[in-house]
Amino acid sequence: MQMQAAVMHGYQQPLRIEEVPVPEIGASEILVKVAAAGMCRSDYQLVDGYFKEAFPLDFPYIPGHEIAGYVQELGSGVPATVGYAEGDLVVINPSWGDGTCRQCHEGNEQLCSGNGRWVGFGPPGGFAEYIAVEARHAIRVSAAGAESPEILAPMTDAGLTPYRGLRKLRDAGKLGADRTVGVTGIGGLGSYAVQYAGLLGGGATVVALDRTDSKLDLAVENGADHGINTRDKSAEAVQDELESLTGRRTIDAILDCTGAEAAISMDFDVLGPEGALVSVGLMSESVEHRLFPLVGTELSYLGSFWGNHNDLVEVLALADAGLIKHNVTKVGLQDVNENLEALGHGDVIGRQVIVFE
């Protein structure tokens, strides 16, 4: 059987829409008919070659790591306890640990230090009509959720990654009613992050930081108390604005969704004593910061990568409870290249999702 897919044939080349064989499944796998596949800036970076060392690819290759779809076939060894059957809508946990390392035993398969794999960065991804997945990585969704696969697909990355990052800030004791929490970069991840800042923040004041007014408008629509446009502004000018909005010149906790060097530098400059910065964005290769403020004001700088299975179950429950606003634009597989370019230029508001009718 054949299927349509958007196929990479090399770095920095447009994907080609081709007919390719439907994947065969092993005994412990399921075949999923893809209903929706979210498009992430890291897909643009994959095609552009940013991950050449981290995730070397063999071509031809099918990207796509935010996947929701219908169970088409169950492998012969899939236990009945998986909780889903043919025809059910499932989302795919994109991090496939090898199950042998400490991280996998802790449940953090996204951090697998053994032979972990990340769908859409190793195993063929969801920019295709079908995908083969280990049964344990599929999570059944509610009947209500199944009505909108285009909403659920982005929850496996855009809706998952900032949740883990905000949880790290909360669990580090950096949030609370007398605190200010910032979210830098209101793209696909940031539009969820400002919501989690409210849901997990314990009454913290939420400030969105971005270079584009329309993205700040979305952040405020999604619950941020304030938005500050940082384009061409010094840290001092941002702090002047911060003071007029919040009464304070510093922020206690920041989730950076850009990974841009300038944004992270600004983040560090506006962090108050004992402030914490969590990075989930990956726009630049490296960041630099003066050592004394880091030490002298006891700052914390944490990385946070994707999320684990239980994090994903939690965000799906938040979505199911209607506690999350989504900003999704449905696109067709044939539009994949123009949308990858838009992601590369930072021109996307919310999340584009490829849908297969």
Residue 277 interacting with ligand FEH (CB under 6 A)? no
Q: Residue 157 binds which one of Zn ion, ligand FEH, none, with CB within 5 to 8 A depending on kind? A: ligand FEH
Q: Which of 282, 318, 324, 336 binds ligand FEH (CB under 6 A)?
A: 282
Q: Which of 61, 96, 118, 356 binds ligand FEH (CB under 6 A)?
A: 118
Residue 137 interacting with Zn ion (CB under 5 A)? no
Measure the CA–CA gap between 274 and 271, rounded to whole angstroms.
8
Measure the CA–CA gap between 68 and 32, rounded to whole angstroms.
8
Residue 191 interacting with ligand FEH (CB under 6 A)? no
Kind and range of the H or E run holding 344: helix 336-344
**Which 261-280 residues touch Zn ion, going by CB under 5 A?**
none
Measure the CA–CA gap between 170 and 204, rounded to whole angstroms.
10
**Number of residues this chain uses to bind Zn ion (CB under 5 A):** 7
Cβ atoms of 255 and 187 within 8 Å: the answer is: no
Measure the CA–CA gap between 100 and 270, rounded to whole angstroms.
41
Q: Which of 108, 161, 258, 308 binds ligand FEH (CB under 6 A)?
A: 161
Q: Measured from the CB atom, is 72 or 108 closer to ligand FEH? A: 108
Name the residue whose CB lies closest to ligand FEH.
Answer: 42
What three-state secondary structure class fits 274?
strand
31 Cβ contact partners less than 8 Å away, ≥ 6 residues apart: 22, 23, 25, 71, 72, 73, 130, 131, 132
DSSP 155: G
Side chain identity, residue 344: G
Q: Measured from the CB atom, is 197 or 204 closer to ligand FEH? A: 197
Residue 157 interacting with ligand FEH (CB under 6 A)? yes
Q: Which of 73, 98, 269, 320 binds Zn ion (CB under 5 A)?
A: 98
Residue 121 interacting with ligand FEH (CB under 6 A)? yes
Q: Residue 50 binds which one of Zn ion, ligand FEH, none, with CB within 5 to 8 A depending on kind? A: none
Measure the CA–CA gap between 315 and 318, rounded to whole angstroms.
5
Packed helices 213-221 and 190-200: angle between N→C axes, nearest 10 degrees:
30
Cβ atoms of 124 and 15 within 8 Å: the answer is: no
String of contacts with Zn ion for each residue 101-120, x by CB under 5 A: x--x-------x-x-x----
Q: Residue 114 binds which one of ligand FEH, Zn ion, none, with CB within 5 to 8 A depending on kind? A: Zn ion
* Residues of the shown chain interacting with Zn ion in the complex, contacts defined by CB under 5 A: 97-98, 101, 104, 112, 114, 116
* Residues of the shown chain interacting with ligand FEH in the complex, contacts defined by CB under 6 A: 40, 42, 118, 121, 157, 161, 282, 306
